[in-house]
Amino acid sequence: MLIIGKKRIRKSGKYLAHLAEGDLAFVGLPITEDISSKLKEIGFETVTLGETLVPSPEMGNISKFNANGREVPQRDLPMEIAYRQQYREWKDWHGTSYSGFSSIPYKRYPRKLTPPPGIELTIIQKDNKQFVIAGEAIVNGQTPDEDITHRINLMLEIFKSVEILQENLERYEIPRIRRLAWDVLPVGKMPWDQFQPKLIPLLEKASKGKKLIIAERLETVSMYKPDFHAIGKNGYRGYIIFGFTGLNLYIFETAEYGNATYVFEGDWEFLSQMTKAEIISGNLQKHRFVHLDGWADQVKSLFPSNYKKLIS
């Protein structure tokens, strides 16, 4: 069944009415020339069998929720004090200019995080025809309606149409997935003045004050001279990995305002193959540093006391 001309649906039931209980189906589309162009636009490099990615949160509200999750205000709870960072410029009575960062307190309702679904788009093939599907096969009567509805709405947001494909899973060639999550920059210590220009596309939409706040954070981590950098693509867009292989330490910093710094130990290759949803839901990070006063000291604490000799 083809769904077209809708921005989103509320429930999936009527779109699955032609399926029997227990039938397998896919939420996807045959890849036409127009769909192929759109796939390249959202990050598929060659539209080849097995390519998989989480759509960029910049595609729209549904894609943003899919990649990042959602914070829901708990209005039945007492308000709490939260902080937002702000960059300010001012002059004193003598005309001397000053600038700096500050954490501004404000009241808000506590937030509850709804984890990101992390639905990936994958290129598969049946005979000589290619399809793009959202997630794995659904099972009519077993896969939750909320899950199916989200996949349908994700496809509608990106492609303006979606189809419930009834083909049996056994008839598809299911390839080994090749995720397109990170651009790994050349290994070797890269000075900040060489790394900074590569961040311009990630910062271009931020306001002047937020750009300065974000850039200061990234420069602070770069000061410790990581062995490599990896810049996130698609669902990871806005994240930068600073790798310190000698310390078995990997810092996931964000080029977006807000959010937090995540610190990991372990197999970099393994982590790079996981979705953001899997990382967060698995609580795989060693540390999570919120971007407030004291953040730089928290980052500093990750390194041995004599590490300054290495970065001086």
What is the rounded CA–CA span in Å between residue 109 and residue 305? Answer: 39
What is the rounded CA–CA span in Å between residue 124 and residue 49? Answer: 6
- Does residue 120 have a pLDDT over 90? yes
Mean of pLDDT over the chain:
82
The alpha carbon of residue 241 and the mean position of all alpha carbons in its chain are separated, in whole angstroms, by 13
The most confident of the ranges 105-119, 252-266, 295-309 is 105-119
> Band of the pLDDT at 13, cuts 50, 70, 90?
confident
Quickly list DSSP for 107-134: EEPPEEEE----PPEEEEEETTEEEEEE
Say what the pLDDT of residue 76 is. 93
> Band of the pLDDT at 172, cuts 50, 70, 90?
very low
Q: Are 98 and 92 in contact (CB under 8 A)?
A: yes
Q: What tokens were used for 133?
A: 């599907």
Least confident range from 153-157, 171-175, 288-292: namely: 171-175
Beta bridge pairs of residue 102 = 86
Name the more confident of 25 and 191.
25
23 CB burial (10 A radius; 0-12, 13-18, 19+):
middle
